[in-house]
Amino acid sequence: MSRIGKLPISIPAGVTITVGDSDITVAGAKGTLKLAQQDGIKVEVADNVATVTRANDEPAVRAKHGLQRTLLNNAVIGVSKGFEKKLEINGVGFRLNGGGQEIEMALGFSHPVKYKAPEGVQLETNKMEITVKGIDKQAVGQVAAEIRSIKKPEPYKGKGIKYADERILRKAGKAGKK
């Protein structure tokens, strides 16, 4: 039995889960998310608790058991609390403008870099910090990764875009002549 798959999901007040034939709809205060229902996996909702069970012990079905439970739990958390990732920009002369769906960054290139977030993801800026917010955990993580990939932090001075909780391993510079 999957250790993660067998855990029940507590449903907070204001969140509803509707199980259809091929999809699961999770609605809450922040919005609505739809999940595809995995083959051989059954989701049951009763008394503010959702449980995920599997039809048989075939390896393909067993592999999807924990996945379905985690995706459903992420959807419940997303529509009730939401997800966010914080990014920091470090570097002399680097600038950040905008917010909402689109930001503009000056990152030492010959041109300013514009980034437009997909629907359902909000970008907030505060000095040299970007906060990516949304209800879909995968979309928030993807947007944060795309922004970071524009100018990854370099190991000598740490210049670039990094996650707020990321630690950059620094390298020693050139050794002086003796």
Domain 83-163 has CATH 3.90.930.12: yes
Residue with tokens 């949304």: 134
Assigned CATH class of 9-80: alpha beta
Contact between 106 and 81 (Cβ < 8 Å): no
Query: Are 9-80 and 83-163 in the same CATH fold?
Result: yes
Residue 13: pLDDT above 80?
A: yes
| In 49-158, beta strands by DSSP E | 49-54, 83-90, 95-99, 102-106, 113-116, 121-126, 129-134
Per residue in 59-85, pLDDT tens?
Answer: 999 999 999 999 999 999 999 999 999
> Is the Cβ–Cβ distance between 168 and 161 less than 8 Å?
no
For the chain, the domains span 9-80, 83-163
How would residue 121 be classed by pLDDT, with cut points 50, 70 and 90? Answer: very high
Distance CA 66, CA 108 (A): 44
CA–CA distance, 141 with 121 (Å, rounded to integer): 10
pLDDT class for 1, splitting at 50, 70, 90? low
Average pLDDT over residues 115-122: 95
